[in-house]
Amino acid sequence: MPPATPPDSLENFLSRPVRYLRGVGPKRSEALQRLGIETIGDLFYFFPRRYEDRSRFVTVESVAAGQFVTLKVSVLSKTLKRLRAMTIFEMALGDSSGFIHATWFNQPYLARQFSEGDELIVSGKADVYNSRLQLNSPEYEVLTGSTEDTVHTGRIVPVYPLSEGLGQRGIRRAVKELIDAYADEAADFMPEDLRDRLGLDRLPEAIRNVHFPESQELLECARRRLIFDEFFLFELALLAKIHRDRRATRAYPFSHTEKVTENFKKSLPFGLTGGQLEVIGEIARDAAKPVPMRRLLQGDVGSGKTVVATFCIAWAQRNGIQSVLMAPTEVLAEQHYQTVSRLLSPFGTRCVLLTGSTPASERGEILADLRSGRAPVAIGTHSLIQDEIKFSKLGLVVIDEQHKFGVRQRSALLAGGIKPHLLVMTATPIPRTLGLTLYGDLDISTIRELPAGRKPIQTFWITQAREEEVLRRIAEKLKEGEQAYVIYPVIEETEKSDLAAAKKGYADLRGGVFRDFQVGLIHGRLSRQEKDRVMKDFKEGKVKVLVSTSLVEVGIDNPNATHMVIEHAEKFGLSQLHQLRGRIGRGDRDSYCFLFGEPTTEEGKRRLRVLTKTQDGFAIAEEDLALRGPGDFLGTRQSGVPLFKIGDLLRDADLLRLARAEAARLIERQGGMAANPALREKVERESRHFFNQAQD
Ligand code: ADP
Ligand code: MG
């Protein structure tokens, strides 16, 4: 029986609010809405949370305590007892091998639903009660004719997510009726040749089998089709958007890049690594085009990304184009300012630094120079993306440590007429699978090697009890002129207690094991001048030990620092620990990292163990992603991770890659989506969903 009055057209019917469905009143429709189901058609895509295999029947005599069983039985007798405020409904159920009792509490209406002699299928757990076996509140289904159209038992049964006011049986029945009546007519938006080539289910089949699978194999096929769909539509939407954007926007093309590159290389005190040369080539090819480059440069800490970015800035300057280099913190912005100024000094290029603590007097002049074009290179923090800052000819934006910025901040600089080329850099390598979605609109360049001569960092996980011994050993090294970091976990600079611990640690070290050495303290509450002074003293070797909060995580460069102690290492994330550790091992001496920590969870222990075993940023990022899941991986600010309903970025990485490749192929082919109106319409609809979600 169809679940509603026959529709004018299936499409119209499916787009109606779910309350038009038979058996769904205002209460149920509210409950469904809470689960994200607005229209009748949404029910097709309301996927089960899990499945229970109730397709194999056992005989009553073989039932053992503790098992989940499915039985095909008939009703021998029934009784309804009342016990104070409680009702107990009990039936004796039998087959040719014997009988068993089943009970339900506080469901007195059940007494009216069954009659002696009814054939039914029950599924539930067998428990011993009053020294006899019985089934407690099993799922049941009265057999009317064939067993083929059972809903709750006798098959692989879907188990849906529930919300208040919505029972498993109710939702299951609604979905079943809808599917029986209409799934076959569901329009398949996928081009047939593609579906055949990839061996994917037809849509009606996939919808039917994802809800009420005939077998495990068919369930797998259905899931494959639907997961592919989800990724495929997402990638199509993304690629279509990129194509639109790229067609519509222009950039200043950089010329003479080769000549500049040659001269610049000669001015460097070191030779570039193969990885650096390769990405410089990739970036140069992009930047030579009159369409804006959108490229992500990923490379482990210390792989030399800043130099690469500086090449790009040099090309721009040679072309009379302004560049912006933006860093997430003032400390890092200042350091970049120094590095880039030094690297570009042989060419007489002037850089300006603009951060929140730039004095108003200087600020006015800097803004004027940017507006007139007198300042070709601006380096700073997000102070650089305010409306009042105008450029004369901005053609390149470099963003360091991209994951520290929100999605929206990235786009603020890119708004406007002619778009600058964009290079974003990150030392938290994006696992490939995430790269295809989160940074799906960026091309990716990767530096996989560190400059030659870097020694591996030996990492140890040490219990607090051995702290003294380790610190004394470090003190010996300090005597030989080496330097050390001691890191305290002040994740949020607002956490007073954490900051207090860092200050106390500093006082203890200074008066204790490191009393013969100059010890410095740096944290987010210090003024810019204070930070500057400490950093400078550390870099010049006056301060031997730098006690710091996680501030040093990004970018600080002192090759003479060889030892690092991380207190309460269990409070840091895996990638963050890796970043911190990257501050040492930058010179030609052996480096050592000591993680003090007593993690209480298995996951916490695994994190620290991973660090002692590998120094490969990619391996660590993959592990971190696996431990935390895509949502948490890049922190709460990074909200660009699309939420998929059935696909899982980690588990289904292969399907994601396939979907990406097929989407690219379809878009590039003559006609692209225009040749597929059904697909195009579907993509447009999904597109709204994907990109709305990514905004906030
Ligand atoms: P990243 O930003 O990728 O972590 P940096 O750009 O800060 O790395 O570089 C780390 C250090 O390595 C810097 O001191 C830099 O001068 C140096 N460096 C960069 N490239 C090379 C190279 N090819 N050979 C030797 N040292 C290099
Ligand atoms: Mg860096």
Ligand 1 neighbour 69 (Cβ under 6 A): no
Ligand 1 neighbour 339 (Cβ under 6 A): no
Give the pLDDT of residue 317.
96
Q: Compute how many other C-beta atoms are within 10 angstroms of the C-beta atom of residue 60.
A: 19
Q: How many angstroms separate the first and last alpha carbons of the chain?
A: 43
Give the pLDDT of residue 638.
42
Distance from C-alpha of 129 to C-alpha of 135, rounded to nearest angstrom: 9
- Token pair 């920590």: residue: 597
Ligand 1 neighbour 306 (Cβ under 6 A): yes
> Per residue in 551-605, pLDDT tens?
665 556 788 999 999 998 988 888 888 888 988 988 888 999 999 988 888 888 9
Prediction pTM value: 0.67
* All residues at 6 or more sequence positions from 671 whose CB lies less than 8 Å from its CB, including other chains: none
Cβ-based burial of 9 (10 A; exposed 0-12, middle 13-18, buried ≥19): exposed
Give the pLDDT of residue 592.
96
Give the pLDDT of residue 635.
47
Give the pLDDT of residue 696.
31
Ligand 1 neighbour 325 (Cβ under 6 A): no
510, 478 contact by CB (below 8 A): no
Task: Indicate which atom in ligand 1 lies nearest the CA of residue 271.
Answer: 23
Instruction: Read off the DSSP letter of residue 129.
Output: E
Task: Indicate which atom in ligand 1 lies nearest the CA of residue 559.
Answer: 14
- Token pair 């990724």: residue: 231
* All residues at 6 or more sequence positions from 76 whose CB lies less than 8 Å from its CB, including other chains: 91, 92, 93, 94, 99, 116
For ligand 1, atom 17, which residue shows the shortest CA distance? 304
Give the pLDDT of residue 419.
85
Give the pLDDT of residue 354.
94
Ligand 1 neighbour 420 (Cβ under 6 A): no
Secondary structure (DSSP) of 7-65: PSSHHHHHTSBGGGSTT--HHHHHHHHHTT--BGGGGGG---SEEEE------GGG--T
Ligand 1 neighbour 376 (Cβ under 6 A): no
* All residues at 6 or more sequence positions from 263 whose CB lies less than 8 Å from its CB, including other chains: 347
Distance from the CA of 423 to the center of ligand 2, in angstroms? Answer: 13
Taking ligand 2, which is a single-atom ion, which protein residues have CB atoms under 5 Å away? Answer: 555
Task: Indicate which atom in ligand 1 lies nearest the CA of residue 339.
Answer: 16
Give the pLDDT of residue 408.
47
Helix (H, G, I), strand (E, B) or coil at 633: helix
- pLDDT under 50: residue ranges of the chain: 1-2, 147, 407-410, 634-640, 693-696
* Beta-bridge partner residues of 299: 447
Give the pLDDT of residue 627.
78
In the chain, the amino acid numbered 99 is F
